[in-house]
Amino acid sequence: MKRCIYRAEGLDGVEKAEIWRGPEVSFELAEAMERLEVDHLSLFADGKRFYLYYECLRETVPPEQLLMAAGERLAVWPGGELETGTRTGMERRWAPMTDIFHYHQPAIDVAWRHSDRSTEPYGRLARLKPEEAASYIYHHYQYQEEKPGDGDKYGIIGLHENLLFFYSEQPATLEPATYKGKLNTSLKPERWAEVMEPHFIPWTGVSAGQELWRKLELVLHARRTEEETRCVIRYA
């Protein structure tokens, strides 16, 4: 099972609803998720910027194959080639974000999702000081490999340029990890929040408690069940 994180930007002057509203988006997405075996897809918005998370049960599926109807209303990302499997000549609309931290990683022959548990996707965004990127990743790798399973099972942080996208679910799924981490050290800082704060560029004009990690708007959430793929589109 592969976990995928991407970001995209809408074209100037195109409203969010114009990109994601319409039966062609939800119908195409539901059909593609079923055919390509993609689970639990969530899309978040921050103005005209979008952050996408989904889970592929088998091979990695590029977002262009899931949200093709919206592609022409998204800006083109230069500097990279499309993932394998998309049509030749298509321009890249989604930029991949690098997984730099996760509480759990999927394990072979161990159930990743439980059909009897209902959770709500939750997304947050932070700005990382470029000069602090190495330190931030270093500490998070320590945490990830020293204490696997220490938080929400589905919590994961993606990095692209200096933007950090944190995907998680509420209520948190707390389960012990079924594997051992790669480190036998105990170097994770005791005062985690205090050590992390200098790594960020704070947001201004935000609600209390969101100065570092700002909550994103959930626009679209789709999931597959044993019976069918259920796709729900939400608008502010």
pTM tops 0.75, yes or no: yes
Instruction: Pick out the chain residues at pLDDT < 70.
Output: 80-90, 115-116, 226-236
- Residue 10 per-residue DSSP state: B
Query: What's the confidence (pLDDT) of residue 203?
Result: 98
Note the pLDDT of residue 110: 83
User: What is the tens place of the pLDDT at every residue in 145-187?
Assistant: 999 999 999 999 999 999 999 999 999 999 999 999 999 999 9
Q: How far is CA 128 from CA 117, 124, 165, 189, 196, in A?
A: 33, 13, 11, 19, 10
Task: Give the pLDDT confidence score for residue 26 in this predicted structure.
Answer: 82
Residue 171 preceded by cis peptide, ω within 30 = yes
pLDDT at res. 92: 87
Encoded amino acid at 43, one letter: L
Contact 170, 122 (CB under 8 A): yes
pLDDT at 70: 85
Asked if 54 and 1 count as a contact pair (C-beta separation under 8 A), the reply is no
Contacts with 79 (C-beta within 8 Å, 6 or more apart), sequence order = none
What single letter denotes the amino acid at residue 220? L
Buried b or exposed e, range 32-49, using 16+ CB within 10 angstroms: bbeebebbbbbbbbbebb
Q: Which of 39, 28, 9 is nearest to 69 (CA)?
A: 28
Signed CA dihedral, 44, 49, 53, 58: sign only: positive
Give me the pLDDT at residue 90, please: 65
Domains (range + CATH), the chain: 2-233 (3.30.70)
CA distances (Å), 90 to each of 18, 83, 87, in order? 21, 10, 6
The reported pLDDT for the residue numbered 116 is 67
| Residue 136 confidence (pLDDT) | 98
